[in-house]
Amino acid sequence: MKRISVLILIALLAACGEGDKKAGGPAAAGGPGAAPPPAEVDVVTVVSSQATITQDLPGRLLANRTAQVRARVEGVIEKRLFAEGSDIKAGTPLFRIDARAFQAQVAAAAADLAASRAVFERYKPLLETKAVSQQEFDAAQAKVKQAEAALTKAQLDLENAVPPAPISGRIGRALVTEGALVGKGEATHLATIEQIDPIRVEFTQSYSDLLRLQQAVKAGQQKRASTATVELMLEDGSIYPERGRLQFADLAVDPNSGAVVLRAEFPNSRRELLPGTFVRVRFPQAQLDNALRVPQRAVQGSPQGQLVMTVDAEGKVVPRPIKTGAMSGTDFIVTDGLQGGEQVIVNGLQKARPGSVVKPVPWSPGAPLPAPAVDAKK
C-alpha cells in the first residue's frame, strides 16, 4: 500500500512540473528566473605586424602661388572687369582705368617722334656736304631715340590702364571701387589672385622629436619610413580623402620655438581646401617591425596608468595594464602588457565589468559608435 502511495506522489509531482513548463513558470527557458545572455562587445585580436609610426602635427593651409594685382599708372577706376571669387586665366583684363590722358600722351609722343625723324633724315645729306656739323647730326639722332623711348613709355602706360591678371588662379574681392583714384604716389593694391590647386600646408615638428627619431633609426630600433605621403586632418576631425606629398624640410631650427618647418602639397581640384585654414598633418616618421597595435579608443586611463579590457578563453573580462609608445595612425603601439592573439575590447566597455562573461564580436572600424543606453523608467 505504501509503495502504491509513493508511485502516485511521484506521478503528481511530474504532472505539476509539466504544468509549470507549459504555463511558462520560473523553470521555463527565458523566464524571469533564467540567467541573461552574455553582453556583446566589439573586440580586436592583437596581431604582431609592421607598423608605420606617425605624428600629428599642427599646420596651416597656404596658396601654392599668390599674386597681387596693383595699379601701375595713376588714374580713376572706370570699371571692374571680373567676377569676384571666380577662376581666371593669366592675362585676363581685370580693371579699366580712365585712359584719355594716356591716349593723348601717345599721340603727342608719336608726333614728336615723327618730327625728330624728319630732322634726322634732313641732316643726313647735309652732313656729307658739311652743311651741318657732326655734333648737330649726333644730337638729331639722339633726339630720335629719345622720342622713340617716350612713345614706348606712353604706349606702356596706355596698356597699363587695363591691368591684367599676372597668373592664373582664383581672384578674391576687389579692394577698390569704381571711381576710386589709384596709383597716386604708390602702386595701389587692387585685388589678389591665389592658386589653390594644388594647395600647400606648412607645419612644424619639434627638433627634439626629430633627434630622437634619428637616434632610434641609427640604433636599429626603427627603420625610416619609406613613403613621403602625408594625411590631412580637417578642423572637424575628418580625414581629407586625398593624400599629400612631402616637399620641403627646412635646414634651420627656429630659435624661438625649437621646431623645424616642413611643407607638403595636396591636390585640391574640388576647391574644398582654403588658404588660412588651420589643420593637422599626419606625418609618417619611421617603421617598426613586429609591433602590437590597439585602437586608441580601447585604451583607458587609471591612477595606476593605462589599461585595456581583454576577453580570455572562457569569455571573461580581464583588465590588463599596458604601456604604450608612439602612434600609428589612430592606433597606439603597445610596448608592454599584451601578447599576440589576445582579444581587446573596443566597443561596449560600459558593459565589460572585470570577471563578467561577455560575447566577443569582431570590431568593424567603420561601424558607428553604439547609442547610449536609455533608462526605461524615464
Question: Are 15 and 307 a contacting pair, CB within 8 Å?
Answer: no
> Which has the minimum average pLDDT: 111-120, 180-189, 213-222, 303-312?
213-222
Question: Are 57 and 204 a contacting pair, CB within 8 Å?
Answer: yes
Nearest-10 crossing angle of helices 100-128, 134-160? 160
**pLDDT grade, residue 214 (50/70/90)?**
low
Which residue has better confidence, 196 or 207?
196
Tell whether domain 45-62+199-362 is in CATH 2.40.30.170. Answer: yes
Q: What is the mean pLDDT of residues 2-11?
A: 43
Which residue has better confidence, 226 or 80?
80
Note the pLDDT of residue 221: 55
Provide the grid cell at 7: 508511485
Whether residue 155 is predicted with pLDDT greater than 80 in this model: the reply is yes
Note the pLDDT of residue 223: 52
Per-residue pLDDT of 38-66, as tens digits, reads: 888 899 999 888 887 888 888 999 999 99
CA atoms within 13 A on the CB side of 82: 29
Per-residue pLDDT of 287-306, as tens digits, reads: 778 888 899 888 988 888 88
Whether residue 286 is predicted with pLDDT greater than 80 in this model: the reply is no
Q: Give phi and psi for 296, each to the nearest 5.
A: -60, -35
Q: How far is CA 10 from CA 6, 17, 28, in A?
A: 6, 11, 20
Per-residue pLDDT of 127-146, as tens digits, reads: 888 888 899 889 999 999 99
> Which has the minimum average pLDDT: 76-80, 115-119, 182-186, 205-209?
205-209
Note the pLDDT of residue 332: 86
Note the pLDDT of residue 65: 94
Q: How far is CA 340 from CA 1, 132, 333, 344, 357, in A?
A: 70, 105, 13, 11, 22
Alpha-carbon distance of 156 to 47, in angstroms, equals: 71
Tell whether domain 99-160 is in CATH 1.10.287.470. Answer: yes
**Interacting residues of 71 by C-beta distance below 8 A, sequence separation 6+:** 95, 97, 163, 182, 183, 187, 188, 190
Number of helical (H) and strand (E) elements in the chain, helices listed first? 4, 21
State the CB neighbour count (10 A cutoff) for residue 376. Answer: 5
Q: The CATH number of 66-97+162-195 is which of 2.40.50.100, 3.40.50.720, 3.10.20.30, 2.40.50.320?
A: 2.40.50.100
Note the pLDDT of residue 49: 85
**pLDDT grade, residue 282 (50/70/90)?**
confident
Note the pLDDT of residue 218: 65
Q: What is the mean pLDDT of the chain?
A: 82
Note the pLDDT of residue 374: 39
* Per-domain boundaries in the chain: 45-62+199-362, 66-97+162-195, 99-160
